[in-house]
Chain A
Amino acid sequence: MQQSNGYIIAFSAILTVILGGLLAFSAIGLKPMQDMQVALDTQKKILGAVMELKEGDDVPAIYEERIESLVVNAQGEEISEVDGAPVVAEDVEVGKQFKLSPEDRLYPVYKLKTQGGNQAEAYILPVYGNGLWDNIWGYIALENDLKTVKGVSFDHAGETPGLGARITSVDVQERFKGKKIYNEVGELVAVRMVKGETGDPSIYGENEVDGLSGATITAVGVNSMLESYLGYYKPYLEKVSGNAISQVNSESKELTFNN
């Protein structure tokens, strides 16, 4: 009887229902906690581009205090809603946006405010691109002059451990600090990883950093990711720096006037 087809089908069906039910319950029960962890991870990544987080730091509190987020479109205009629904920068999935054409994407911007003040100290921009095996992504933080790199943080889905995966390591990310995204004649060229690796940072110009030996394709991926995304953010960056310049001008005018 135990070997009859009817028994086997009934046994399998009951087992499936029990195991499936168990998994469904656990998935629903753990979802809120998992969503919280994903949100916390995003905040850590964003802050990680501009500061070193220590174990035990209250990440949500720091994030709440220091980060102001907004979303811009390809023309660099700040937008607050899409098709009537409000957009929140933290909920914009850059990976999903990556599949749209550049003009249709939403571009989140995270402003790091000065401690206690309201001035923007840095601008953190998400970037996304293709590595050797899979997607790579990260954040690039610009100083408030919008020309100098304050820091970067990269992550990847499947680059080769020990080679391309080194883009996540601190010593590779340190190389970008202080580099300029504009060249001498003022063109936006981003920061480029050179081919080959010398280990000597002093020989590279303001727009270059040491490359990744054995992972040239990942490095090329990083280069094109930075170049294209800084290009997409260019209208916004120009708008902000244009405002900053005109503000300075008007202030100096006022000063002259007062004098």
Chain B
Amino acid sequence: MSAETEVLDQLIEKSKPSEAAFSKRRKKLISDPLNDDNPITVQVLGICSALAVTTQMSPTLIMAISVVFVIVFANLIISLLRNLIPNRVRIIVQLAVIATLVTLVDQVLKAYFFDAWKELTVFVGLIITNCIVMGRLEAFALGNKPYDSILDGLGSGLGYAWIILAIAFFRELLGSGAVFGFKVFEAIGIESFPNNGLMVNPVGAFIILGLIIWVQRTKTGYVEQ
């Protein structure tokens, strides 16, 4: 055995207990909820807010960031406390942590994004009952280490975020001819674009969400059991 391989063996020994920061398994934690296991389109959770806040892009973006924030930090906190939380009261503990984070988000929005807050405050409050957040805490954070839990939360949060942003993009584009308030159709010279009133109603969100689910399931071949 040469000295070189010995050093190599030692290195392997050392690296074994700590997994790479973005190992294959960890990447999957983030990427799975984006598509194959998307909380909205596959698990069909969090539909209420997906329909309610998506008439325009900018409030939707704020909602998406709020949900990502809440889900990541709730996952982290619950994961850190997972060995301390008494099993019999774990649901109420999860609820208390989520509610605190949501209230913080609501207060910060009120102080710094007042116009968005006026529009969103009802739905921000409803993040508390968003099944995605509690689902991740119960299914993942209670049984996994903090870092993995952060990644899992990030994945689920982003999976929620990109779907509602996609819905909002089509609803704002077709419903008010704009993206982030910027009048797209006027900018490219179509002055008389007829706004589709259906898109401004929640019905429009149902239709778009249905189309997204259809396209996605055609591609992934997912079939409901």
Task: Give the chain B neighbours of A23 by CB distance below 8 A.
Answer: 100, 103-104
Q: How far is the CA of A12 from the CA of B201 in the complex (A)?
A: 43
The one of B89, B100, B112, B197 in contact with A11, judged by C-beta atoms closer than 8 angstroms, is B89
Q: Which residues of B contact A162 (CB under 8 A)?
A: 197, 200-201
Closest beta carbon of chain B to A32's beta carbon, Å: 9
Determine the chain A residues whose CB is within 8 A of the CB of B108 once the complex forms.
26, 30
Q: Quick one: given A23-B100, A23-B103, A162-B201, are A11 and B84 in contact (CB under 8 Å)?
A: yes
Kindly list chain B residues whose C-beta atoms are within 8 Å of the C-beta of A11: 84-86, 89, 93
Cross-interface CB contact of A40 among B92, B100, B114, cutoff 8 Å: B114
A176-197 with Cβ < 8 A to chain B: none
Q: Tell me the B99-121 residues at the A interface (CB within 8 Å).
A: 100, 103-104, 107-108, 110-112, 114-115, 118
Convert B188-205 into 0s and 1s, putting 1 for each residue whose CB lies closer than 8 angstroms to a CB of A. Answer: 000000000100110000
Give B112's nearest chain A residue, CB to CB. A33
**Does A203 interact with chain B (Cβ within 8 Å)?**
no
Residues of A within 8 A of B166 (CB): none
Contacts of B87 in A (CB 8 A): 2-3
**CB of B88 within 8 Å of the partner chain:** yes
Closest CB in chain A relative to B68 CB, distance in Å: 19
Q: How big is the A interface, by class?
A: 20 to 34
The interface residues of chain B lying within 8 Å CB-to-CB of A16 are 96
Report how far A9 CA is from B88 CA in the complex, Å: 11
CA distance A22 to B111 in the complex (A): 17
**Interface size on B (CB < 8 Å)?**
24
- CB contacts under 8 Å to B, within A31-63, are 33-34, 37-38, 40-41
Contact B86 A34 (CB under 8 A): no
**CA A12 to CA B86, docked complex, whole Å:** 9
- Chain B nearest CB from A133 CB (Å) reads 13
Whether A27 and B100, one on each chain, are in contact in the complex, defined by CB atoms closer than 8 angstroms, is: no
Q: Is A15 within 8 A of B93, CB to CB? A: yes
Beyond A3-B86, A3-B88, whether A33 also contacts B96 by CB under 8 A is no
Task: Contacts A2-B86, A3-B88 given; indicate if A41 touches B114 (C-beta within 8 A).
Answer: yes
Q: Which residues of B are found within 8 Å of A7, using beta-carbon distances?
A: 86
Verify if B97 is at the interface (C-beta below 8 Å from A): yes
Q: Within the complex, which residue of B93, B114, B201 is in contact with A161, where a contact is CB–CB below 8 Å?
A: B201
Pair B200/A15 contact, Cβ less than 8 Å? no
**Which residue of A2, A22, A33 is within 8 Å of B104 (Cβ)?**
A22
Q: Which residues of the partner chain B approach A27 to less than 8 Å between Cβ atoms?
A: 107
Residues of B within 8 Å of A38, CB to CB, are: 114
- A88 CB within 8 Å of chain B: no
Question: Does A19 sit at the interface, judged by CB under 8 A?
Answer: yes
With A7-B86, A16-B96, A23-B103: A30-B201 Cβ-Cβ less than 8 Å: no
Is there a chain B Cβ closer than 8 Å to A8's Cβ? Answer: yes
Give chain A residues whose Cβ lies under 8 Å from the Cβ of B85.
11
Interface residues of B in 54-106 (CB under 8 A from A): 84-89, 92-93, 96-97, 100, 103-104
Given A40-B114, A162-B200, also A8-B89 (CB < 8 A): yes
**Chain A residues, Cβ within 8 Å of B86:** 2-3, 7-8, 11
Chain A residues in the interface with B (C-beta under 8 A): 2-3, 7-8, 11-12, 15-16, 19, 22-23, 26-27, 30, 33-34, 37-38, 40-41, 161-162
Ordered by A's residue number, 23 sampled pairs between the chains whose C-beta atoms are within 8 Å are A2-B86, A3-B87, A8-B88, A11-B84, A11-B85, A11-B93, A12-B93, A15-B93, A15-B96, A16-B96, A19-B97, A22-B100, A26-B103, A26-B104, A26-B108, A30-B107, A30-B110, A30-B111, A33-B112, A34-B107, A34-B111, A41-B115, A41-B118
Which 8 A-B pairs have CB atoms at the shortest separation, nearest pair first?
Answer: A33-B111, A37-B114, A30-B111, A19-B100, A8-B86, A34-B111, A34-B110, A30-B107
